[in-house]
Structures are given as C-alpha cells and as structure tokens.
Amino acid sequence: HESMAHAAFHDALTQLPNRLLLQDRIGQALAAARREGCNIAVCYLDLDGFKAVNDQHGHAAGDQLLKVIAGRLVAAVRPTDTVSRLGGDEFVLVLTSVIDGDWMAILERLLKVAAEPVALASGAEVVVGLTVGVALASQADEASPAELIERADHVMLAGKRSGKGRVFV
C-alpha cells in the first residue's frame, strides 16, 4: 500500500512530489500563510539547455541530469519548502513563510547550483541553467494552487523571451 501511495504522489524518475502532491502542499502553505499573516512564493523552474543534452547525449543522460539537478534543488532549499517535478525539465518550488526578499537569496542559490557542471555516466560534462518565474501570494490571495502554478509558468515563459538564466517576478 505504501509504495502505491508513494507512486501516486511522486515523480517516478526523481522521486520528487508530483503535481497532485504539489497542489496539496501549496494549499497547506496558503492556509499557513493566512494563519501567520505571511506570504508564499510559487516558483516555476525550467532548465535551460536540457533539450540539447537529450539530443547530444541521449535520454538516459537526460534522465541522469534530471536526477542530479533534482537533488541539488532539494539540497539548496529549506526543509519547509517543496521541490516538485511536473515532467520534462520543469520543476515547481513552493517557498513557505517568505518575508521581504529572503526568498530571492534562495532562488539565487538555485541558479548557482543548477549551473554547476554535471558529470554524465559517459564521462561527458554538461552545464545547464535555470529560468525561474515567481508568483508571490499574500495571505489575502484567493488564487487556487493550480492558478498560482499557472501564474508562475506565465512569468517564467515571458521572462525566458527576454533572457534565460534569471529569476522573473
């Protein structure tokens, strides 16, 4: 039973929470923000250069890269935050209890760790980057978890057109 429940709520490749669990975590974070009078940040992360790795090194290398990046993202955030994978090279991060600009330091750290070289099983070394779109939600925000993910995605896509490897709010 436990492994079936885990499979229902986690990405098979990275073992990160999937969209279903992510939406639940965003709901919990919003409820906590309303109780505590603080904000949350829903951040849509897209890997820059992932397609090239898949094309040049194959899908097994792409999968290996995704696992490495997933581990780095989890290690770079706070225990109260959630890193999830929606599929492909897209991740969503939920930053709980964000105060002023402290969330920006976390995102800067993510940009840095994502850009560190990854050694593939083949011996090749690849470098990718991150483009991040952020949707901030205050305790007064009535948006649903799905709407916040969509908002962050739109910000990321709009930002990507003006330059990759950055955080857009």
Pairing of strands 82-87, 167-168: unpaired
- How many Å apart are CA 101 and CA 3, to the nearest integer? 38
Asked if 89 is an active-site residue, the reply is: yes
pLDDT band at 160 (very low <50, low <70, confident <90, very high): very high
> Among 110, 111, 145, 139, which residue's Cα sits nearest to residue 26?
145
Residue 136: how many CB atoms within 10 A of its CB? 18
Q: How far is CA 70 from the centre of its chain?
A: 8
Single out the catalytic residue among 46, 81, 89, 153. 89
- Would the pLDDT of 1 be above 80? no
Mean pLDDT of 63-69: 98
Mean pLDDT of the chain: 94
CATH T-level assignment (fold) for domain 2-168: Alpha-Beta Plaits (3.30.70)
Task: Look up residue 33 and give its two tokens.
Answer: 């923000």
Q: Are 111 and 132 in contact (CB under 8 A)?
A: yes
Share of the chain above pLDDT 90, in %: 86
- Residue-wise pLDDT for 91-149, tens only, equals 999 999 887 778 899 999 999 999 999 999 999 999 999 999 999 998 888 899 999 99
* Closest of 81, 79, 9 to residue 45, by C-alpha: 81
pLDDT for residue 163 is more than 80: yes
Q: Tell me the C-alpha distance between 166 and 162, whole Å.
A: 10
Rounded Cα gap, residues 48 and 157, in angstroms: 12
92 forms bridges with which residues in the sheet?
44, 84
pLDDT attached to residue 141: 84
Q: What is the helix (H) or strand (E) element at residue 2, kind and residue range? A: helix 2-9
Band of residue 10 on the pLDDT scale cut at 50, 70, 90: very high
What pLDDT was estimated at residue 101?
76
% of the chain residues with pLDDT over 70: 99
Give residue 19's pLDDT. 96
